[in-house]
Amino acid sequence: MFNYVMISVIIPVKDRVNSLKDAIESVLWQTYKNFEIIVVDDGSEIDIKSKIYPYLDLIRFFRLEKNRGVSAARNFGITVSKGEYIAFLDSDDIWLPRKLEMQLEFMNNNGFAVSHTNEFWYKNGNFINQGYKHKKYGGYILTKILDHCRISPSSFVAKRNVFNKTGYFDEWMKIAEDYDLWLRVALFFEIGYLDYPLIVKRYFLDNHLSSSVKNIEFYRLLSLKKFFCKYHKYMDRHLQKEVVKFINHKYKIVANGVNKMIERF
């Protein structure tokens, strides 16, 4: 029965034409066919629409006139989507052909409203291993994702009513916006984890902004503080203590970074 469920695939993009074509192709090659592809151009400086002209009959294309950030692009995609399920795909990543089929069947068979998968990493022409700190989990995993982001947006699928509970991406968060949302998702939902690499996470010289921004821990700290202030009433004492512990931990990391910066002057 799950074959009749529509999945809205939201692809935000800014200027990356070649990798965008790869991303679109990887959706079109899916064995599960009941999907719509929503491409949101986040104020690109080049004419994305003309560059992907052959695909326009196969996708829904939207353009934000001003660059508002990936969170705004994804949020816009959610608002115009029609599917019962929402999936995200970064314009520099690609899906393996059975990604949607296997993930939706996994969710349907196990009663998950939210899930993510394992992934391959590709950088500088080679596949690379993930470190232990990137280990992924399933279940009620809030305490396991407080340190850093362990869910890749390109692997994430959720029923659209999940966002009624969690809200959308915080558009103020220019980096760590995925970490910020996953905290809320993990608080309210059991997260299914399909331990099978179904995406290729590709690292290019100009992409993955968060990996090149030195103050990402500052944004994670702000996210944790905001999260605790708004949602602590939904946590038991154990969860409250864990979140506070990591807030203090992030404070120390940020303070240490500031001290090192001051020492250079």
Domain count of the chain?
2
pLDDT at 247: 97
Which DSSP letter does residue 40 get?
A: E
pLDDT of residue 189: 98
Q: What angle do CA 86, 92, 96 make, to 5 degrees?
A: 65
Last residue of a domain, one of 208, 229, 256: 208
User: In the numeric block, which tokens belong to residue 223?
Assistant: 């996210």
177 and 259 together in one domain? no
Same domain, 141 and 50: yes
Burial grade of 111 (CB within 10 A; 0-12, 13-18, 19 or more): exposed
CB 120 within 8 A of CB 99: no
Residue-level pLDDT at 141: 97
pLDDT for position 255: 86
CATH number of the structural domain spanning residue 101: 3.90.550.10
Say whether both 202 and 240 belong to one domain: no
Specify the DSSP element, H or E, that contains 121. strand 114-123
Residue 260 structural domain: 214-265
Nearest CA among 64, 70, 58 for reference residue 24: 58
160 and 120 in one domain? Answer: yes
pLDDT by position in tens, the chain (length 265) = 456 899 999 999 999 999 999 999 999 999 999 999 999 999 999 999 999 999 999 999 999 999 999 999 999 999 999 999 999 999 999 999 999 999 999 999 999 999 999 999 888 778 787 777 789 999 999 999 999 899 999 999 999 999 999 999 999 998 999 999 999 999 999 999 999 999 999 876 554 444 445 679 999 999 999 999 999 999 999 999 999 999 999 999 998 876 666 666 6
Q: What is the pTM of this model?
A: 0.92
Whole-number pLDDT of residue 1: 47
